[in-house]
Amino acid sequence: MSVSTGHGGADTAESNKPGPPHGRGRGSRALVVMSIAALGVVFGDIGTSPLYALKTVFLLDGGAVRANEGDVFGVISLMFWSITIIVSIKYLGILMRADNDGEGGVMALAALAQRLYAKRANRAGMLLVIGIVGVSLFYGDSIITPAISVLSAVEGLQVTVPAVAHLIVPISAVILIILFAVQRFGTGKVGVLFGPVMVLWFVVLAAAGLGMVIQYPSVLLGLSPTYAVVFIVQHPAISFIALGAVVLVITGAEALYADMGHFGRSPIRRAWFFLVFPALTINYLGQAALILHHPAAKANPFFLLIPEWGRLPVVILATVATVIASQAVISGAFSLTRQAVQLGLLPPLTIRQTSKREGGQIYLPAVNALLFIGVMTVMLAFGSSERLSTAYGISVTGALVVDTLLLVLVARPLWQWAPWKIAAAAIVFGGLELAFLAGNLPKILNGGWVPLLIAAAVITVMTTWRRGRQLVQEDRKTKEGSLAEFIEDVRAQNLPRVPGIGIFPHPNKDSTPLALRANVKHNHVLHEHVIIVSITTAPVPHVPTWEAYAYDDLGYVDDGIEHLTIRFGFSDEPDIPRALRAACYVGVLPLDADDFKEASYFISRGAIRTTKKTGMVRWRRSLFIALAHNAADPAARFGLPALRTVTMGSDVEI
């Protein structure tokens, strides 16, 4: 007999969704606050590209792109329409509608696609592989973005205070150390702190560019798409080179999508269209006008656009803004990593919820540490933003192409798009992004191999963990056996029962926990009460106590062997002992809450041993075992008392 105190997964999730705010004013204020916080996390990467994007275009290949009207207008047109098509239309207009329980990013999109194609196993597997490639490329971007962003801002000191040029790398290192150190406080708090700074940053961007646009209004002609077409037709070789740098204006688009779970769709869209997009456009136009009328300014058009008296304050502001740019990809990496863990592509990691209201605001200590090591390594190895720009772009464009591929695949089942609309999206988005990717391929030999190497390492880890996990589950399934058959066998043996409660965390109620089998096999006894506990996470912040449990006596009311499913919200602390006591208070468990003060907990975990079985080569087996040994401790994750928790089980073979 099974008794559920809730209404089922979908109904419960719906019933617990926060309702609309009381009063229109309060809702509007909350939306403004969230939009400002989003500015402090989501738009840092794409918002600081004016520091280096246009400069890189005109310095590429010894100045192949000239400071004449045709080239300048052509480049500006390419930049404006790239941002419009890829960021405004593809990501903000379309992809943000393809969320997975409020989460964005390539892994959420791949998981959504898998769900839509669940009945077609071959395609579902292919979609997962595509998602792995996409998230791996994003990690490559996450390593390079903080390094190039902070370096490009601090290098502004060379324009204002040339004597400190030798301190640029040490200053950048100190800034990055502080940035990664504050991640533990959560993206929400970081966003509230950084949001007003980014508002000021975008206002400064617009103000700096507006003066030149007013002085040379003809630069507005560069917004016409005809100039981009003419530039490409007249200078195909030069435009191909330019594409390798033009892509820098859209770096951060994937991070923007991945960060959607932190703040939601509406605040991000409002911040983009009301402030970020206009400010970026005006600043790029201002830089273009400066280069056109003062060609020598192409060496550093952003800082030379600023009056001399304001350059030092803007260097300081730019440095803070690039720290925020790094925040965008760091928080995006946190979100994608959690999604990868949930999909079984990475081992369980320690995940700390940093907000009581927003499920997407999380902190992963292990990921934070690995990103910090990677960022510092590439920054010290390359030493300048100009050298680092040669490694930038490949992972970004690769991630964009992967997102478009997944978009094309989900559009029909998700939104019932007509074939012509799917074809148009593939041609417009995919064609532009493939052109960017091709333009970045020459960078591979000059540093572009770095993000590809990072992506290859991530792919290796994910595929190894996924395959190893499958082999372990197959072996465990054989060893665990049916729970129903185990109970029948135990009843037939009439084993001695000892006083107390034995609790066995286990993913389901179909198979037998290894720890339970080991306890019976070696100790030949059972506790008076045996409770098998399964944990699930609902896509809501909190699950009320009366809806959090599903109880099953597993067919017999007199044998003391029971199963309990506990549903936690994403902001609930998954504390099993506390949840069990609460289940007694609401009458779900037929026990007294005080009985759990001396309860024993048994974790099913055996040593993983390598064998000569086929299915995985030796070095990958060793990698899987290393990953498993470093997975988060389940006892700590579920709040189990250390002195009353026992790890038992049998060896698992791969």
* Locus of tokens 């290098």: 155
Compute the average pLDDT of residues 320-341.
78
Highest mean pLDDT pick, 58-62, 292-296, 567-571, 629-633:
292-296
The string of DSSP letters for 285-333 reads HHHHHHHHH-GGGGGSHHHHTS-GGGHHHHHHHHHHHHHHHHHHHHHHH
Lowest mean pLDDT among 8-12, 326-330, 361-365, 573-577: 8-12
Mean pLDDT of 63-87: 93
Query: Does pLDDT of 473 surpass 80?
Result: no
Tell me the β-bridge partners of 590: none
Tell me the average pLDDT across 426-453: 88
17 confidence band (pLDDT: 50, 70, 90): very low
Distance between CA atoms of 512 and 477, rounded to whole angstroms? 9
Q: What percent of the chain has pLDDT over 70?
A: 89
What does the pLDDT look like over 89-104, one tens digit per residue? 999 999 998 877 677 7
Number of DSSP helices (H) and strands (E) in the chain, helices first: 29, 11
pLDDT of residue 371: 92
Which of 187-196, 213-222, 385-394, 478-487 shows the highest mean pLDDT? 213-222
Q: Which residue has the higher pLDDT, 307 or 125?
A: 307
Mean residue pLDDT of the chain comes to: 83
- The token pair at 624 is 């899987």
Confidence (pLDDT) at 192: 67
Best CA proximity match to 406, nearest among 88, 108, 102, 119:
108
Q: Residue 570: what pLDDT?
A: 57
Strands 561-569 and 652-653: unpaired
208 pLDDT band, cuts 50/70/90, is very high
Q: Are the C-beta atoms of residues 462 and 131 closer than 8 Å to each other?
A: no
Residue 97: how many other CB atoms lie within 10 Å: 10
Per residue in 362-385, pLDDT (tens digit) is 788 889 999 999 999 999 988 887
Q: How buried is 10 (Cβ within 10 angstroms: 0-12 exposed, 13-18 middle, 19+ buried)?
A: exposed
pLDDT score of 390 more than 90: no
- DSSP-derived secondary structure for 111-167: HHHHHHTTT-HHHHHHHHHHHHHHHHHHHHHHHHHHHHHHHHHHTTHHHH-GGGGGG
Q: How confident is the model at residue 426 (pLDDT cuts 50, 70, 90)?
A: very high
More confident residue, 277 or 643: 277
Structure tokens at 100: 């997975």
- So what's the pLDDT on residue 27? 57
Rounded distance, CA 185 to CA 193, Å?
11
User: Can you tell me which residue has the tokens 């952003």?
Assistant: 302
Of 11-25, 131-145, 457-471, where does mean pLDDT reach its minimum? 11-25
What SS3 state is found at 103?
strand
User: What is the rounded distance in angstroms from the CA atom of residue 581 to the CA atom of residue 52?
Assistant: 58
pLDDT of residue 195: 80
Q: What is the pLDDT of residue 649?
A: 65
Q: Which residues contact 446 (CB under 8 A, 6 or more apart)?
A: 390, 391
pLDDT of 539: 54
Q: How confident is the model at residue 273 (pLDDT cuts 50, 70, 90)?
A: very high
Q: What is the mean pLDDT of residues 340-348?
A: 81
Where residue 2 falls among pLDDT bands split at 50, 70, 90? Answer: very low
Specify the pLDDT at position 99.
Answer: 76
pLDDT surpasses 70 at 16: no
Contacts of 409 (CB under 8 A, 6+ apart): 113, 117, 127
CB of 203 within 8 A of CB of 276? Answer: no
Instruction: Using pLDDT thresholds of 50, 70 and 90, give the confidence band for residue 580.
Output: very high
**pLDDT higher than 60, residue 641:** yes
